[in-house]
Amino acid sequence: MRQAAVYRNGLLAATLSEENPQQYVFRYEDAYFMDSSKVALSLTLPKTQQEYRSPYLFPFFFNMLSEGVNRKLQSTQLRIDEEDHFGLLLATAQFDTVGAVTVKPLKH
């Protein structure tokens, strides 16, 4: 299982896990979820529930990935399969993302 910490403006907001290639779990951290002044990470992940499950990588995170030639170049340079969306997210969404959200791999 691969996991990542999800930060919003540098503040830990959630964890994102790949339990297997067909199951992804997004879970808001308790403190972030309980704090009504903290906004949801996206409209598709509202703070109406603390945990979400999906058979595919959540669109919010999938849309953080590069496309086309840039994805091919990243895949080649990082030696990650172009179809390994979670792996590419872990490798590329740690720094200088467009927007307030960054994703950092958690080590086991």
Residue 54 is predicted with a pLDDT of 95
- Tell me the C-alpha distance between 103 and 10, whole Å: 10
Q: How many Å is the maximal CA-CA distance in the chain?
A: 42
E strand spans, the chain = 2-8, 11-20, 23-28, 51-54, 101-106
Structure confidence by residue, pLDDT tens digits, 40-81: 999 999 999 999 999 999 999 999 988 888 888 888 888 998
pLDDT over threshold 80, residue 96: no
Confidence (pTM) = 0.88
pLDDT over threshold 90, residue 108: no
- Tell me the C-alpha distance between 86 and 1, whole Å: 11
Q: What is the amino acid identity at position 56?
A: Y
Going by the DSSP 8-state scheme, the letter that residue 56 receives in this structure is S
